[in-house]
Structure 1
């Protein structure tokens, strides 16, 4: 998937914090730590709703 195909818009960079939370969730799921995976989803949602998120609530 190229940056132009990204859900963040044409040529936009995805938010690195969002990407970190998604990666942490995937790792937790791989380790069958579903409680931690849930925590990552909650923290990702909170981050996306904050003013800090560069993706503007997308992704």
Structure 2
């Protein structure tokens, strides 16, 4: 699979911002902070739909 065909956009590296939002959501869930977890999911989706995401809307 070439870098262009990769589900992570550039190379095989996932988008670090996406990974950060996913981690923040997991932490919020572990603390039973459902409001924060929802915020993280919304911000992740907005990020993935934006031009700055290297993952091309993964996940």
Counting only pairs closer than 5 Å after superposition, residues 37-56 of structure 1 correspond to structure 2 as 37-56=37-56
- The CA RMSD measured in Å over matched residues stands at 1.7
The 4+ residue runs of structure 1 with deviation greater than 6 A are none
Figure out how many residues of one structure are paired with residues of the other and give that number.
53
Supply the distance in 2 between the matched residues of 1:31 and 1:16 (Cα, whole angstroms).
23
TM score, norm. by length of structure 2: 0.81
Q: Distance in 2 between matches of 1:41 and 1:18?
A: 10
1 or 2, which has the higher helix percentage? 1
1:2-58 Cα shifts (integer Å, max 9, x gaps): xxxx8537x510000000000000000000000000000000000000000000111
Could you tell me the TM-score, scaled by structure 1's length? Answer: 0.81
User: Where does 1:11-26 land on structure 2 (aligned, <5 Å)?
Assistant: 12-26=12-26
